[in-house]
Amino acid sequence: MTISEKKVYPRTGDRQTVYLQSVVTDPRIMVGKYTMYNDFANDPGDFQKNNVLYHYPVNDDKLIIGKFCSIACGAKFIFTSGNHTLKSLSTYPFPIFFEEWDLAVANVTEAWDNKGDIVIGNDVWIGYEAVIMSGVTIGDGAIIGTRALVTKDVPPYTIVGGVPAKPLRKRFSEEAAASLLEIRWWEWPDERIKENISAIQAGNIQALK
């Protein structure tokens, strides 16, 4: 069992930061070890209620978050049921009000266009009040800027920002990013990570190979 699986709060005396895998109970939200969430406005333990929105069981869509991610206060993950279908002549969600309009309850999901899961890679930093929309995949090592609205996939080790979010720059050269994706240090045992933290912090990729 890893350290993050044993505790809720990573730092003594800090009740604003939690390891997400210790507080999430919804089986449709899967979080990797050491991924943390900070919230100075609300109880960070209420992440799945306050930050994962329109996540209704009827769609069976999932929020998958990798290891060693950092999620800032107010970041939101908005799922399919928050949408209204664009296939209809009207945006009004008639299927939701099936009783009112004598419609089949089995067709309730026709009220929206199902975009699918949200998948967050490993070592991703999601900034303050950023919004991630359904169907989006964010690659390993990416950074999502403050209040960015992410509607499209984000490649690994790419910094995005704005509304809608657009690539601002790459964190590393293509060669360095490829090496990190091959090394996948976040998959290492805890002891090996501890032994290499200095090299990770110093940006010494060669020392990790």
Instruction: For 69-111, give the DSSP string.
Output: -EE-TT-EEE-GGGS--SSSS--S-GGGGHHHHT--GGGGGGG
Question: Residue 4 in 3-state DSSP?
Answer: helix
Which tokens sit at 186? 């976040």
- Please report, in tens digits, the pLDDT of each residue of the chain (209 residues total): 454 556 999 999 999 999 999 999 999 999 999 999 999 999 999 999 999 999 999 888 999 999 999 999 999 999 998 889 999 999 999 999 999 999 999 899 999 988 999 999 999 999 999 999 999 999 999 999 999 999 999 999 999 999 999 999 999 999 999 999 999 999 999 999 999 999 999 999 999 98
Cα–Cα distances (Å) from 178 to 174, 199, 200, in that order, read: 6, 17, 15
Q: Which of 84, 147, 170, 171 is catalytic?
A: 84
Rounded to whole angstroms, how far apart are CA atoms 195 and 79? Answer: 39
Comparing C-alpha atoms, which of 125, 146, 145, 149 is closest to residue 136? 149
84 belongs to the catalytic site: yes
- Phi, psi for residue 53 in degrees, rounded to 5: -110, 150
Prediction pTM value:
0.92
